[in-house]
Amino acid sequence: MAKFDLFQFVPFRLNRLAAEVSAALSDEYQARYGLDIPEWRVIATLGFRDDACSAQFISQCTRTHKSTISRAVTALLERELIERVENEDDRRAFELRLSAKGHALYEELIPRLLHKERDILSCLTAQERKDFGAALGKIERSLNLVQTRHGHKAGAY
């Protein structure tokens, strides 16, 4: 059998790398702002979109379980970082959006995170970064992880 090298095995490397990068970032949003990962994902999704969106939407596009998102939403509502209003068209769903306070946090946090990302990727040349991103994109598309313009997982509809 061809010798197997765990440290060359891409799934393993992705896991390890993702864990490490997350740990590096959590210094920013966790230690400084008291956000855990699901909460940060809610904030990031709401901040990214100008209009409101549902918990379901956040769950789908961040690939986080709906119960996890539900808890994060509850916590963020209590901290008044987001707002929730009834959806007139569908009273099961709620429209979520950042509050002014949440938006301020978002605007403060984003540059820090982008800076961290730049740090982490600074070991690559500009071309390598571009190629790396493109490769990630290809793999994402082939695994059906990508969002369409309207934020729905391609292939899920």
Partner DNA sequence: CTAAGATAGTCTCATTTGCAACCATCTAAA
Partner DNA sequence: TTTAGATGGTTGCAAATGAGACTATCTTAG
Q: Per CB under 8 A, does 100 bind a copy of itself? A: no
Q: What is the DSSP letter of 53?
A: B
The residues near 142 (Cβ < 8 Å, ≥ 6 apart) are none
143 binds, among DNA, a copy of itself, none (CB under 5 to 8 A by kind): a copy of itself
Count CA within 13 A, CB hemisphere, residue 72. 26
Q: Is 20 near a copy of itself (CB under 8 A)?
A: yes
Exposure of 21 by Cβ count < 10 A (0-12 exposed, 13-18 middle, 19+ buried)?
A: middle
Is residue 110 part of the contact set for a copy of itself (CB under 8 A)?
Answer: yes
Q: Provide, rounded to whole angstroms, the least separation between the CB of residue 69 and a copy of itself.
A: 14
Report how far residue 137's alpha carbon sits from residue 62's, in angstroms, rounded to the nearest whole number: 15
Residue 144 within binding range of DNA, rule CB under 7 A: no
102 binds DNA (CB under 7 A): no
Query: Which of 118, 59, 64 lies closest to 93, judged by CA?
Result: 59
Pair 82, 93: CB distance under 8 Å: no
**Residue 36 contacts DNA per CB under 7 A:** yes
Of 75-83, 88-96, 97-105, 129-137, the segment contacting a copy of itself by CB under 8 A is 129-137
- Cβ pair 71, 15 in contact under 8 A: no
Question: Interface residues with DNA (CB under 7 A)?
Answer: 36-38, 54-57, 59, 64-68, 70-71, 73-74, 89-94
Question: Interface residues with a copy of itself (CB under 8 A)?
Answer: 1-2, 4-22, 24-25, 41, 44-45, 47-48, 61-63, 107, 110-111, 113-114, 116-117, 120-124, 128, 131-136, 138-143, 145-147
